[in-house]
Amino acid sequence: MSLAGVSCLVTGAGGFLGQRIVHLLLEEEKELAEIRILDKTISYEARRNFTKFQGQTEVKILEGDIRDVTFLHSACQGVSLVIHTASIIDTLGLVEKQLLWEVNVKGTQLLLDACVGSNVQHFIYTSSIEVTGPNYRGDPICNGDEDTAYDSTSGFLYAQSKTLAEKSVLKANGQALKDGGIFLTCALRSMYIFGEGSLFLQYHLDKSLLNKNVHLRFSRKEALVNPVYVGNVAWAHIQVAKALRNPEKAKHISGHFYYISDDTPHMSYADLNYELTKELGFGIEANLPMPLTLLYYFAILLEILSFLLRPFVKYTPSTNRHLVILLNTPFTFSYKKAWRDFGYVPRYKWKEAKQRTSQWIASVIAQRREYLKNKAT
């Protein structure tokens, strides 16, 4: 089943994952009628890249706020497929709760309402592994799946916002549309996403450059996770979009969530950074800066300090309890159900994903060095 003749809206299309979804749609679905690219702001470089792959598919760029009801209803008119990647990602508590809730939770609900009111047939939500966990106790999971029992209780706002948004998406499945059709939804819970353009990779790379090309050991080596390449997450969105158009497959897919991983070797988050850069001459610290238990209590002290300073100044700690647990809990999941239900198979093997990402990192390092050289002169 192809997406021939489909008019598709991608939210968050100017972001890390959103851009890759749009690029793959333009490259692979030559008979796609239209792609509407929605984001609050879209860079000049992103605009140029979109038009470069355009071909015969019409590309419309829509800049606006996902909290704007009128804007959303206009954006959804005449669309049959919505891929919703727009979200505020916050691991440190940098974003005010109200803004996080308005975008991630309320914005998703407003978009769902606009879709139902505009007779949009299919809706795919980019969820997160943080909807599952790790929980506040740091209970591990090894090679889990969609049926794995787990206490997902989390006090972290980002995880809560993604959980509520996903529930809204899955609850909306099966609603009757005005034209007599049925609204079909599903959610994709991706693992930690790496690849070209990752802001998280850039952040850790900058830290490593300041540490004489040695990566900080912020997660213990045995805390195995399964990161996923951005191109494979984008590919999963396209595969499930095509499957939703097949009535037989849609019966099994709609109203459900799926874990999206790939064949990237299981390793800790810190070791992923090292694996992607070791051929560029980078090393990695052998141990955590302090024993894990002590690191957890140190994070508590930083949170207390932040709370005490709140009436006078906003101080955001460099770590917190949630982040310590997230980075140091073994947490891996299989993509077998996605393979069984809608034929998801990673498009990029680990060797290619690593090569592409490492080449991009090398270009970033070159840019950083050129900038420092020019600054010095």
Q: What positions carry a catalytic annotation?
A: 158
Contact in structure between 236 and 193 (CB atoms under 8 Å): no
Residue 63 and residue 41 in contact, taking contact as beta carbons nearer than 8 Å: yes
Q: At 240, list the tokens.
A: 């499930």
Q: Which residue bears the tokens 């050289």?
A: 373
Strands 7-11 and 34-39: parallel
- What is the Cα Rg of the chain in Å? 21
User: In this structure, are residues 166 and 277 in contact, taking their beta carbons and an 8 Å threshold?
Assistant: no
Instruction: Compute, in degrees rounded to 10, the torsion defined by CA atoms 136, 139, 144, 148.
Output: -80
In terms of DSSP bridges, do strands 257-260 and 7-11 run parallel, antiparallel, or are they unpaired? unpaired
- Tokens describing residue 113: 């309402």
Q: Is 28 exposed, middle or buried (0-12, 13-18, 19+ CB in 10 A)?
A: middle
The letter for the amino acid at 59 is V
Query: How many helices (H) does the chain have, and how many strands (E)?
Result: 14, 13
Name residues whose C-beta falls within 8 Å of residue 208's C-beta, 6 or more positions apart in sequence.
214, 215, 216, 273, 277, 282
H or E segment and range at residue 275 = helix 269-277
Dist CA 361 CA 213 (whole Å)? 13
